[in-house]
């Protein structure tokens, strides 16, 4: 599942974000904010899910991380 992080001061349960956010152009980033799909596949974050899932798993193992992030800050307010 993907969670929308509303900030440290957010209260209550945080909503789940659908796969559609990735499809709309959110960037997959690690804890350092580095986009790791660029250069791995010509479609970057829009690569097929199996390729993205393998890349996420690989990056988590390389970084000894528990999760990666979908960064949608560039969407701006809509």
Nearest-angstrom CA–CA distance, 58 and 64:
10
What residues contact 47, with CB distance under 8 A and at least 6 apart? 37, 40, 41, 55
Catalytic-role residue among 22, 49, 73, 78: 49
71 pairs with which residues across the strands?
27
Q: Is 49 a catalytic residue?
A: yes
Six-digit token pair at 27? 């960037």
Active-site residues, by number, are 49
């Amino acid at each position: 599942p993907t969670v929308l992080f509303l900030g440290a001061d957010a209260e209550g349960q945080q909503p789940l974000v659908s796969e559609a956010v990735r499809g709309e152009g959110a960037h997959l980033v690690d804890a350092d904010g580095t986009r790791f799909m660029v250069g791995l596949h010509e479609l970057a974050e829009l690569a097929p899910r199996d390729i993205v899932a393998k890349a996420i798993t690989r990056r988590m193992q390389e970084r000894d991380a528990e999760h990666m992030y979908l960064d949608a800050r560039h969407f701006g307010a809509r």
